[in-house]
Structure 1
Amino acid sequence: MEPHDHPARSNPARRQRGRSTYLIDVENAGELARLMQQDRLLTEALGGLLPEEGISLPETGRVLDLACGPGGWLLELAFCFPRATLIGVDLSPAVVEYATAQARSRGLDNVRFQVMDVMEPLAFEDGSFDLINGRLLWGFMLPAAWPRLLAECRRLLRPGGILRLTEMEEPLSTSPAFERLMALGCQALKRAGQSLSPDGRHLGITPV
């Protein structure tokens, strides 16, 4: 499904439509496995799928997962809310196909996955969702795209709906090699124009 064009919201300086700005080849089998493991570990570290106080999803609610990858978080949520409608969107057709196969193999008919670019207007009606979720979007989001995405989420949320974003800075370590790796990664993001940090020393997402 192709998102509707909104010329007033387009930015000619941003990436070519459909071109991935993700740091790693997401369609690599090893990366898909890593993302599934990352989903599991992040959910566990946070204390559950929806551990925050004040977040309650109606039994028949509607959820949108932004840049869902192989769908780990959404698939687990589907087991907990069998009457809800859960939709995951991702830029990669291959990843969407993989997530869809995961849902079918687990007998989950309340979740579906679609190809969409979250840095473009999303092809859903106003007020379509009770909850919009995004986790670790810093890995591909361009700085100028953040305000547009947040505005789009406000459009898509129902009255009283919740936008749930989970982001992070690079981890601290006592390992010189790991610290060097994180520093190089932050510098690479800065040079690629994908950093929110003023000097490229950090990711810069959490202060924003």
Structure 2
Amino acid sequence: MGACCSRRNDENDGFRFRYIDGRRYHNISSSVYIGANDDEEADRLIRYHESVKEIWGGLFHSPVEEKLARGARVLDVGCGTGTWLLDMARNYPNSNFVGIDFSPIFPSEGLPENVIFVDCNFLDGSPFEDFYFDFAHQKFMVAAFTEEQWKEKVIPELLRITKPGGWIEIVEGGNLKSKGNATQRVAQGIDHYFKSKGMNSQIGEAIPHFLENTNAFSEIKNEKKCVTLGKKGGNIGQETLKFYRKVFSSVRIFLSSSMNITPEHYDALVETIPIEAERCHSYINQSSKELDEEMQLQRGLPANIFRTQIDMKLRRGGLGWEESTTTVTSTVTKTSTVTSTVTVTNTNTSTVTKTLTVTNTAPVTTASSCPRNGDDKKGSLGCLPRFSLSVEVNLRFF
């Protein structure tokens, strides 16, 4: 497959790894990543993989199904336990899969013939030739890179190693909204810590702007999925809540120090988060951006997690296009339709007009049954179905 693979084991503990508060972490001074890399973390990633599959209805959303069936080269950046990659390899035996991570908790034995794992730091550059992969995948890396690294290293490297006409898929989560007091304190602690390290806790909202600035993509497709947190969300909602609770717990030493509280005080705050999520209808609202055609549908319903997936198709050439954007926003309390039209002009050839129409099909939610902003006040209009439609056309051709 044209790539080398090196593996390390626990014999390097004390050099490659460090132990803090009974958890194992990487020991790479140049990295800002604070997630654990022990068996407990591996279990968290493996368990939530199945929930993510159920949320999205599959392993990916880029239009690469036929290419994978025929045979393609696929990269997973920050592969962790390798669960996604191994699942893909079983489903597409004609394709070759490479997983890379600087914190090697991926398996080293019993691998399918079409899978290898590479122990390397993506920020130092990857050991692959230009335009090597047909499909590059990256998921939940908000805590792995600084904002500057996203712009100057991560996205440029993904561009370098992905073929023209190939696809790059990035999946990121967002921040908790409609928070209770304890959840608010933890969220503020995360934001403060991230900023102190040059990271952006809302990187999902910033990535689309970074992509636009490269002028290297002909198409960016965006999708959102909605999950209700806690018991009301069924098994997925409960697993998602457990996932975030374990994330918060795994960084207790770093965040408690940053928040100037004891680890025990921090633990008490984290233990309160599931209770507040049920009471305050906490949700995560992810920013989204879709080049070519953008449609954002936002309903004022509580207790939702919005995840954003950004799919990018590489562009070579296609100059001379100018774009204009029209946004129509409407708040409704019944079934309604909003239409937005965008005109795009190529200074060398012609004008193209595109129209998107969205119909709100959400049932009317009575104000008396839905608190607003988690304050438990009744009689609010904050949860009546509402949506806004934003349309943007950005046509660039090969």
The TM-score normalised by the length of structure 1 is: 0.77
Distance in 1 between the 2:136 and 2:175 partners? 24
**C-alpha displacement of 1:89:** 0.1
Q: 1:206 aligns with which of 197, 201, 204?
A: 204
| Aligned CA distance change for structure 1 residues 144 and 45 (closer, same or farther; 3 Å) | same
Note if contact 2:99-2:116 (Cα within 8 Å) is conserved in structure 1: yes
Distance in 1 between the 2:29 and 2:118 partners? 14
Q: What residue is the counterpart of 1:75 in the other structure? A: 86
Distance in 2 between the 1:184 and 1:205 partners? 16
Note if contact 1:69-1:99 (Cα within 8 Å) is conserved in structure 2: no
| Aligned CA distance change for structure 1 residues 38 and 183 (closer, same or farther; 3 Å) | farther
Q: What residue is the counterpart of 1:169 in the other structure? A: 174
- How many matched pairs? 179
Q: What residue is the counterpart of 1:55 in the other structure? A: 64
| Aligned CA distance change for structure 1 residues 21 and 38 (closer, same or farther; 3 Å) | farther
**C-alpha displacement of 1:39:** 2.3
**C-alpha displacement of 1:175:** 4.5
Matched, 1:154 2:154: no
Structure whose residues are more often strand by fraction? 2
Q: What residue is the counterpart of 1:87 in the other structure? A: 98
**C-alpha displacement of 1:141:** 0.8
Distance in 2 between the 1:78 and 1:175 partners? 42
Distance in 1 between the 2:41 and 2:32 partners? 15
Relative contact order (C-alpha < 8 Å, sep 6+): which is higher?
1
| Aligned CA distance change for structure 1 residues 73 and 173 (closer, same or farther; 3 Å) | farther
Note if contact 1:64-1:88 (Cα within 8 Å) is conserved in structure 2: yes
**C-alpha displacement of 1:17:** 6.3
Q: 1:125 aligns with which of 118, 125, 129?
A: 129
**C-alpha displacement of 1:37:** 1.7
| Aligned CA distance change for structure 1 residues 72 and 171 (closer, same or farther; 3 Å) | farther
| Aligned CA distance change for structure 1 residues 174 and 151 (closer, same or farther; 3 Å) | closer
**C-alpha displacement of 1:69:** 0.4
Matched, 1:99 2:107: yes
The TM-score normalised by the length of structure 2 is: 0.42
Q: What residue is the counterpart of 1:33 in the other structure? A: 43
Deviations 1:82-141 (A, max 9, x none): 111000000024x1xx4333xx1xx52211101111112111011110000000111111
**C-alpha displacement of 1:193:** 2.1
Distance in 2 between the 1:73 and 1:119 partners? 21
**C-alpha displacement of 1:23:** 2.1
Q: CA RMSD in A?
A: 2.2
Distance in 1 between the 2:108 and 2:122 partners? 19
Distance in 2 between the 1:68 and 1:115 partners? 10
Note if contact 1:40-1:73 (Cα within 8 Å) is conserved in structure 2: no
**C-alpha displacement of 1:184:** 1.6
Secondary structure of the equivalent of 2:134? strand
Distance in 2 between the 1:178 and 1:78 partners? 39
Aligned counterparts, 1:14-25, within 5 A = 19-25=30-36
